[in-house]
């Protein structure tokens, strides 16, 4: 479901309040709890994303612990949301009161959510809103039947099934502890009624905190209509209080993402080792091999193959492309292009249609044209390479002079010889070649061969003189004898069509 879909609960929710001021002590982390990342968003980001389709006129996020970091994160992921500071963490009820004070007049109901429930989904919230509207309640709480209610607030119902109270586990008696229907920490209600009831909430409980959950009991005592709506999928309501729960929520979220992808025709060879963020788009008939991670704003086009053991971050993969055992970040991989195994594509890498980056290649800030290849063991940084060019093995684009970075331009149909150093800034024109082992420091015009290396000199008989008695000297002597014998033979069988020996200028690195 996308954010553009119009909910059937249009206009019902006037304000959204997210409680995110708690310390999250049990995470044992300096990072504020709601900022922990899971499946491509922060915990808080997931809660806001679930509530966004309700199109509330106002969204307020209560911040406290790590408020600067949380507020900064908010301005990046939900700039329309207003951070409101709860100076002291006196409890969820106090946090809600601080938030309600910050709201202007609320047209419709207020939805209050814990900031640590990342599995909440839009459909679960709209079902709650609808149940609230249909019952005409003053307050409706989202509940869930769970196998293990440990640590959660219990929903106390009367004999007729009406919700009477929420009791925190540490304040519950044995009978209440046996209840398996729990508070999800999501509430929808009339803003004025909730605000008024919050003024009456005390702190006479085991933690000495002002509990938002007490509002429900107070409204029941007033004779106001309150209700509880059971979530269709209890997973949606699960919070996240420590690292073990964070890992469990991450796994559940990933399972959901992969289920959706497989239903849409994506082949997921090993769901246990394949991780896909909720923000990723994968087309039908893509194959994801074991050990694949697709993260951030990554998109994968139809028929592409990714993995095994590949990580793609914020990367666009074209139709029919393949990426094998590689790490790729902020790159564009053109249709039918191939990457890997064992390559590292860094930000700004753009591969054209059917381009190839082979094994042990690092690229950065480079445009590689259609059908062009960097097959082996190279570093290609800050370069524009045209179409149908070949970069020989072990080529280095020498882009850094120790102070500044410089660009290299390589034209179309170029052949860069193996082990060439292209010392930027430098240009190799269309159709040009460079000789293997060259250090190219000046431009090579179109169609020219750039040679920049010392000529070879063979010192005849050196091994016999300087390394006598070694296996090498013996092998050389044997080769001399064999050559002498062959020379005697050729005097009788003349061979006229022997090809000419390769010249220096032909020694190209090819693949």
Please, is 463 exposed, middle or buried when counting C-beta atoms within 10 Å of its C-beta (0-12, 13-18, 19+)?
Answer: middle
Catalytic residue among 376, 388, 406, 413: 376
Rounded CA-CA distance 303/488 in Å is 62
One-character DSSP codes across 446-480: TT-EE--SPPP---TTHHHHHSTTSHHHHHHHHHH
Cα dihedral 247, 253, 257, 262 in deg (nearest 10) = 80
Q: What, of Ca ion, ligand UD1, none, does residue 94 touch, CB below 5 to 8 Å by kind? A: ligand UD1
Choose the one of Ca ion, ligand UD1, none that binds residue 92, judging by a C-beta under 5 to 8 angstroms depending on kind.
Answer: ligand UD1
Tell me whether residue 116 or residue 382 sits nearer to ligand UD1 (CB atom): 116
Q: What is the 8-class DSSP label of residue 66?
A: B
* Smallest separation (angstroms) from Ca ion to the CB of 238: 10
Q: How far is the CB of 29 from Ca ion (least distance, A)?
A: 15
User: Which residues inside 331-390 make contact with Ca ion, applying CB under 5 A?
Assistant: none
Smallest gap from Cβ 249 to Ca ion, in A, equals: 12
- DSSP letter (8 states) at residue 74: H
How are beta strands 109-114 and 181-189 bridged, if at all?
antiparallel
Q: Rule CB under 6 A: say whether 450 interacts with ligand UD1.
A: no
Chain position carrying tokens 């000419």: 500
Residue 231 within binding range of ligand UD1, rule CB under 6 A: no
Our finding on whether 168 is near ligand UD1 (CB under 6 A) is yes
Position among 14, 108, 153, 301 found at the interface with ligand UD1 (CB under 6 A) = 153
Task: Respond yes or no: is residue 376 known to be catalytic.
Answer: yes
Using CB under 6 A as the binding rule, whether residue 20 contacts ligand UD1 is answered as yes
Stretch 88-147 residues interacting with ligand UD1 (CB under 6 A): 89-92, 94-95, 114-116
24 sits near Ca ion (criterion: CB under 5 A): no
Closest CA to 84 of 98, 70, 104: 98
DSSP state letters, 307-335 = -SSEEEES-EE-TT-EE-S-EEES-EE-T
Minimum distance of ligand UD1 from residue 285's CB (angstroms): 40
| Binding positions for ligand UD1, 237-256, rule CB under 6 A | 239, 241
**Going by C-beta distance under 8 Å and a sequence separation of 6 or more, which residues neighbour residue 10?**
55
Specify the DSSP class assigned to residue 504: G
Tell me which residues in 234-253 interact with Ca ion (CB under 5 A).
239
**95 binds, options Ca ion, ligand UD1, none, Cβ within 5 to 8 A by partner type:** ligand UD1
Packing angle of the helix pair 191-198, 92-102 (nearest 10 deg): 130
Report, as residue numbers or ranges, the catalytic residues: 376
Query: Which residues form the interface with ligand UD1 (CB under 6 A)?
Result: 19-22, 62, 64, 86, 89-92, 94-95, 114-116, 152-153, 166, 168, 182-185, 211-213, 239, 241
């Amino acid at each position: 479901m996308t954010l553009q879909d119009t909910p059937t609960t249009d206009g019902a929710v006037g304000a959204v309040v997210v409680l995110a001021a708690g310390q999250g002590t049990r995470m044992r982390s300096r990072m504020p709890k709601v900022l922990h990342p899971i499946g491509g968003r922060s915990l808080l980001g997931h809660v806001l994303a679930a509530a966004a389709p309700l199109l509330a006129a106002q969204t307020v996020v209560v911040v406290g612990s790590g408020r600067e970091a949380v507020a900064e994160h908010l301005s990046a992921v939900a700039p329309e949301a207003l951070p409101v500071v709860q100076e002291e963490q006196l409890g969820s009820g106090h946090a809600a009161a601080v938030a309600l004070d910050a709201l202007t007049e609320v047209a419709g109901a207020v939805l209050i959510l814990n900031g640590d429930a990342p599995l909440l989904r839009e459909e679960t919230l709209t079902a709650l809103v609808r149940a609230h509207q249909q019952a005409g309640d003053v307050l409706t709480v989202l509940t869930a039947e769970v196998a293990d209610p440990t640590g959660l607030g219990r929903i106390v119902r009367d004999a007729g099934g009406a919700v009477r109270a929420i009791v925190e586990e540490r304040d519950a008696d044995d009978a209440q502890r046996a209840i398996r229907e729990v508070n999800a920490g999501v509430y929808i209600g009339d803003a004025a009624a909730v605000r008024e009831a919050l003024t009456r909430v005390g702190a006479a409980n085991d933690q000495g905190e002002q509990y938002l959950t007490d509002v429900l009991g107070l409204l029941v005592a007033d004779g106001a209509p309150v209700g509880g709506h059971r979530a269709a999928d209890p997973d949606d309501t699960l919070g996240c209080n420590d690292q073990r729960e964070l890992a469990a929520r991450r796994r559940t979220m990933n399972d959901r993402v992969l289920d959706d992808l497989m239903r849409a025709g994506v082949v997921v060879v090993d769901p246990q080792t394949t991780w896909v963020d909720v923000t990723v788009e994968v087309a039908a008939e893509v194959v994801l091999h074991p050990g694949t991670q697709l993260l951030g704003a990554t998109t994968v086009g139809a028929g592409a193959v990714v993995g095994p053991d590949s990580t793609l971050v914020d990367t666009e993969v074209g139709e029919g492309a393949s990426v094998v055992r590689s790490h790729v970040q902020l790159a564009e991989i053109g249709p039918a292009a191939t990457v890997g195994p064992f390559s590292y594509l860094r930000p700004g890498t753009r591969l054209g249609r059917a381009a190839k980056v082979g094994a042990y290649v690092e690229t950065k800030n480079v445009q590689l044209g259609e059908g062009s290849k960097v097959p082996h063991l190279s570093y290609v940084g800050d370069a524009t390479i045209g179409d149908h060019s070949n970069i020989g093995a072990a080529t280095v684009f020498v882009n850094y002079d120790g102070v500044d970075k410089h660009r290299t331009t390589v034209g179309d149909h170029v052949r860069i010889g193996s082990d060439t150093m292209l010392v930027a800034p430098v240009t190799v024109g269309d159709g040009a070649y460079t000789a293997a082992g060259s250090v190219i420091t000046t431009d090579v015009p179109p169609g020219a061969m750039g040679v920049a290396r010392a000529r070879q000199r063979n010192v005849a008989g050196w091994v016999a003189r300087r390394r006598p008695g070694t296996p090498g000297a013996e092998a050389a002597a044997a080769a001399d004898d064999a050559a002498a014998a062959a020379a005697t033979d050729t005097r009788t069988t003349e061979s006229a069509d022997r090809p000419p020996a390769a010249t220096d200028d032909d020694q190209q690195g090819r693949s």
